[in-house]
Amino acid sequence: MDTVNRARTAAFVMLLATLAAPPGFAQENSPLDLTGTWRWIPHEDERDRNPGAYPGDYRGLPLNDAARMRADTFDEEVNATSSLLQCRPRSPGYQPKGLDPMRIDKVVDPVSRQLVAYRVSYEKTPGDRVIWLDDRQRPSQYALHSWDGFSTGKFQGDTLQITTTHLKESFVRRNGVATSFRATVIEHVSLEEPYLEWTFTVIDPDYLTEPLVRSATYMRAPTLQLPPYPCQPEEFQQGEKYRVPHYPPGENPYLTESAFKYKAPLEGMRGGGETLYPEWRPRGMTLAPPATQSKLKPVYSDASTRIAERADAERPRPPVYDTVEALHVAGNVYLIAGAGGNIAVSAGGDGVIMVDSGAAAASDRVLAAVRQVVQALRPAEMPDSASPFGSAWQAAHAFPDPMIRMIINTSSNPDHVGGNANIRMSPMFRLLGYRDPSLSLQVLAHQAVQRRMVESKAADLLVPTDTYASEKYTLYRFLNNQAVQIFHMSNAVTDGDSAVWFRRSDVIAAGDVYNSDIYPPIDVDRGGSIDGEIEALNRLAEMCVTEFMAQGGTMIIPGHGWMSDAADVGYYRDMMIIIRDRVQAMIVQGMTLAQVKAAKPTLDFDPEYGREPGVTARFVEAVYRSLKEKKTR
- The ranges assigned to domains in the chain are 2-220, 325-380+400-567
Residue 386: which pLDDT band, with cuts at 50, 70 and 90? Answer: low
- B/e letters for 525-561, b = 16+ CB within 10 Å, e = fewer, are ebbbbbbbbbbbbbbbbebbebeebbbbebbbbbbbb
Alpha-carbon distance of 76 to 85, in angstroms, equals 11
Lowest pLDDT segment from 27-31, 436-440, 489-493: 27-31
| In this structure, CATH architecture of domain 325-380+400-567 | 4-Layer Sandwich (3.60)
pLDDT of amino acid 5: 46
Segment 581-592 shows an average pLDDT of 97
Provide CB contacts within 8 A for 494, sequence distance 6+. 411, 412, 448, 449, 452, 523, 526, 527, 528
Segment 108-117 shows an average pLDDT of 92
Contact between residue 170 and residue 185 where contact means Cβ atoms under 8 Å apart: no
More confident position, 406 or 438: 406
Alpha-carbon distance of 604 to 471, in angstroms, equals 35
Nearest to 198 by CA among 89, 104, 60: 104
Residue 435: which pLDDT band, with cuts at 50, 70 and 90? Answer: low
**Percent of the chain surpassing pLDDT 90:** 73
Strand order from edge to edge, sheet including 343-348: 325-330, 333-337, 343-348, 351-355, 404-408, 443-446, 466-468
Q: In the predicted model, what is the mean pLDDT of the chain?
A: 89
Residue 71 has pLDDT above 70, yes or no: yes
Indicate the pairing of strand 555-558 with strand 507-511: parallel
Residue 576 has pLDDT above 70, yes or no: yes
116-121: which pairs have CB atoms within 8 A and are 24 or more residues apart?
Answer: 117/153, 118/34, 118/35, 118/153, 121/226
Segment 528-537 shows an average pLDDT of 97
Nearest to 573 by CA among 509, 513, 617: 513
The pTM of the full predicted model, rounded to 2 decimals, is: 0.90
Query: Please, where are the H alpha helices in 18-77?
Result: 65-72
Strand partners for 334 = 328, 345
Lowest pLDDT segment from 10-24, 197-211, 376-390: 10-24
pLDDT of amino acid 371: 94
CA distances from 352 to 165, 437, 485 (A): 32, 17, 16
Nearest to 252 by CA among 74, 440, 86: 74
Which tens digits make up the pLDDT trace of 140-177?
999 999 999 999 999 988 899 999 999 999 999 989 99
More confident position, 548 or 104: 104
Indicate the pairing of strand 115-122 with strand 102-108: antiparallel
Query: Please, where are the H alpha helices in 380-468?
Result: 390-397, 414-417, 420-425, 447-455
Q: Is the peptide bond before 51 cis (omega within 30 degrees of 0)?
A: yes
In 305-400, where do the E strands start and end? 325-330, 333-337, 343-348, 351-355
**Percent of the chain surpassing pLDDT 70:** 88
CA angle 558–94–141, rounded 5-degree value: 30
- B/e letters for 214-246, b = 16+ CB within 10 Å, e = fewer, are bebebeebeeeeeeeeeeebeeeeeeeebebeb
Contact between residue 583 and residue 631 where contact means Cβ atoms under 8 Å apart: no
Q: How many CB atoms lie within 10 A of CB 325?
A: 15
pLDDT of amino acid 229: 81
Q: How many CB atoms lie within 10 A of CB 503?
A: 14
Residue 569 phi, psi (nearest 5):
-65, -40
Residue 13 has pLDDT above 50, yes or no: no
| Domain 2-220 in CATH 2.40.128.20 | yes
Contact between residue 516 and residue 608 where contact means Cβ atoms under 8 Å apart: no
Nearest to 91 by CA among 183, 175, 160: 183
Which tens digits make up the pLDDT trace of 307-343?
999 998 988 888 889 899 999 999 999 999 999 999 9
Nearest to 191 by CA among 222, 158, 221, 216: 158
Which tens digits make up the pLDDT trace of 33-57?
899 999 988 876 666 665 668 899 9
Query: Please, where are the H alpha helices in 398-506?
Result: 414-417, 420-425, 447-455
Please, how many CA atoms are within 13 Å of residue 486, restricted to the half-sphere of its CB? 27
CA distances from 211 to 87, 200, 306, 349 (A): 28, 10, 21, 50
Segment 285-291 shows an average pLDDT of 92
Residue 378 has pLDDT above 80, yes or no: no
